[in-house]
Structure 1
Amino acid sequence: MNTKLKPATPQTLEELKSDIINRYDSMSKRLRLVADFFVQNPNTVALENLVVIAREIDVSPSTLVRFANFFGFAGFSELQQLYRSQLKGQVSGYRERVRHASEMTGAIKEGHHLLDAFSGPQSLAIENLSIDISPADFDKALGLMSSARIIYVTGARRAFPVAYYLCYALMRADVDVILLDGVGAMHKNQLKRLTENDLLLAVSYHPHADETNECIQIAHERHCPSLVLTDHSIHPCKEVITHGLQVKEAEMMGMRSLSTSMHLAQCLVMGLLCRQEDQENG
């Protein structure tokens, strides 16, 4: 008698994304194509029909049904309903997000209570960073940084503050660094002198900015290694990224924090300085 329990069917998109990450290695090549598309294009999955989505991914419609069954859904329609429900709940601005969270959960949004409500989840996320990132992965990241002639740093939109801080901290550490700020849409020109002896350090959050993806692709074409700080293990450029560190940020009232990313940025710079000092003393 087989007593093995079936995994529970995801009830939210966050649960589905977590399941996709955890079970990604056990999927067939075609199911991985579907997984990549679903993670990167949730709105398309919510709004288009089965045939159109299958055509976009270049798989058969039956593959989408198998993908839905793989995660415990009765069929594609049931899986798509999860995306449609999420889409209905989406709100654009921060003001609308706070109002929406308050209406949905009754979240406290007054005065000093916010300090406690926000600091708790963020503190926990920072504490878990040393668990989420293994010593080997962190050491590999430091190795890439320490061997680079010049570190090119890039990050767009929400990721830009982390990229800017990394550039500032590396400058203060006397490391040769260039911030790819993309002013005037000149990020390609800023990469003209990129070589295989340099490093592209990218900060990239879902949904990953096209400008950042383009920088990663250019680095790959120039045989330049890339180190990517990201909030998701399934990245559109995952096939060409040299190494990645995954950051899990806390989310409160529809807003995702940057505290864990900033903490990681500081640790990377301090770790690089410690490694350089050890090399000089050795």
Structure 2
Amino acid sequence: MHAGEPPKDYEELIRLIHERHDQMSKTYQKISVFLTQNPNDVAVQSVNAIAERCGIHASSFVRFAQALGYRGFKELQALFQKRLATAAPGFEARVKALETELHTSRDRSETGFLSELVVRDIASLQELLKDIRPEDLTLAAQLLHQADTIYLIGQLRSLPVVQLMRYQLTMIGKRCILLDSAAGFSTYISRTITPRDVLMAVSFRFYAKEVVDIVEEVGARGIDIVAISDSTLSPLAKTARVLFPVPEHDYTFSRSLAAPMCLAQALVVSVAARVQYNNTAPRIPTVTGI
């Protein structure tokens, strides 16, 4: 990264980070992801507190800011503080407010663990509702509805999201194929995807290599991709026609799928409304017997 005239506002800064991300060091890429996913927290926390959360030395944040043309991190942070004046509360603020309301803070019992997860999921869902753009939902639903076949791919902890989508899409009569890595044929099957189809991809850090490779290969052929990932800096963002960034926040045990699951179901319900010509109360049939 080479210093130049520094961005004058938050939006320009984020654009510059996206432009330079691929050429950044691993440390700077990690800093970039944190800045883009946690803008409200960046505005109010000290550089030492931010560095501790990232597991990176504070001096790296200073050098990162200088590489973008700022004198130091405080000058970069001022853009986040200006943005915060009109922004909604950040994730951590939502969590604290919910903990206060539900009186679950510092409870280390089994019920306390449950409460902590519920509080964080509620905050994630609130953030999802605030951040997802309606026009992206509409375009994604249209692409999925118009596709001859919807191909689904997700591995590791992303797999449950696409498995649920396969079940629901199948039940509303939409042809879909899960690119299952178990048999080792995912890459070869993905090469049968045509321009009349759509690839639905889900992947979070640390991104499954096969998913990233397939998305890049399919995207290079001009095929529409709808993706759910954790950041606009995700490798899926480069080729996705529609990207839904669902930021992931620190959990004591694991990262929750509540928000991406909710988003995936919203997409399927939107497709169901189009398939059934029913915008009022679309239904996803369920299996009641064998």
Q: TM-score range by the shorter chain?
A: 0.5 to 0.7
Distance 2:173 2:25 in 1: 42
- With over 3 angstroms needed to count, the CA separation of the structure-2 counterparts of 1:229 and 1:27, relative to structure 1, is closer
Residue 182 of structure 1: how far off its partner (Å): 1.3
Distance 2:236 2:11 in 1: 16
Distance 1:218 1:25 in 2: 25
Of stretches 135-144 and 271-280 in structure 1, the one that deviates more from structure 2 is 271-280
Q: Which residue does 2:174 correspond to in 1?
A: 175
Match status 1:25 vs 2:15: yes
Q: Which residue does 2:28 correspond to in 1?
A: 38
- With over 3 angstroms needed to count, the CA separation of the structure-2 counterparts of 1:279 and 1:258, relative to structure 1, is closer
Query: What letter corresponds to residue 252 of structure 2 in structure 1?
Result: M
- With over 3 angstroms needed to count, the CA separation of the structure-2 counterparts of 1:31 and 1:211, relative to structure 1, is closer
Q: Which residue does 2:272 correspond to in 1?
A: 273
Q: Which residue does 1:184 correspond to in 2?
A: 183
Larger RCO, structure (CA 8 Å, separation 6 or more): 1
Residue 122 of structure 1: how far off its partner (Å): 0.5
Residue 245 of structure 1: how far off its partner (Å): 0.8
Which blocks of at least 5 consecutive residues in structure 1 are unaligned? 1-5, 8-19, 48-62, 75-105
Distance 2:71 2:108 in 1: 36
1:67-91 deviations in Å (ceiling 9; x for gaps): 37649349xxxxxxxxxxxxxxxxx
Q: TM-score, normalising length from structure 1?
A: 0.65
Query: What letter corresponds to residue 33 of structure 1 in structure 2?
Result: Q
State, as a whole percentage, how many aligned pairs show the same letter.
Answer: 22
Residue 40 of structure 1: how far off its partner (Å): 6.3
Q: Cα RMSD over matched residues? A: 3.6
- With over 3 angstroms needed to count, the CA separation of the structure-2 counterparts of 1:65 and 1:195, relative to structure 1, is same
Distance 2:13 2:164 in 1: 34
1:125-167 deviations in Å (ceiling 9; x for gaps): 1123221101111111111111111000001111111111111
Residue 275 of structure 1: how far off its partner (Å): 2.2
Query: What letter corresponds to residue 72 of structure 1 in structure 2?
Result: G
- With over 3 angstroms needed to count, the CA separation of the structure-2 counterparts of 1:136 and 1:28, relative to structure 1, is closer
Superposed, which structure 2 residues align to 1:136-175 within 5 Å? 136-175=135-174
Residue 265 of structure 1: how far off its partner (Å): 1.2
- With over 3 angstroms needed to count, the CA separation of the structure-2 counterparts of 1:252 and 1:64, relative to structure 1, is closer
Residue 251 of structure 1: how far off its partner (Å): 3.7
Question: How many aligned positions are there?
Answer: 216
Q: Which residue does 1:115 correspond to in 2?
A: 114
Residue 118 of structure 1: how far off its partner (Å): 1.3
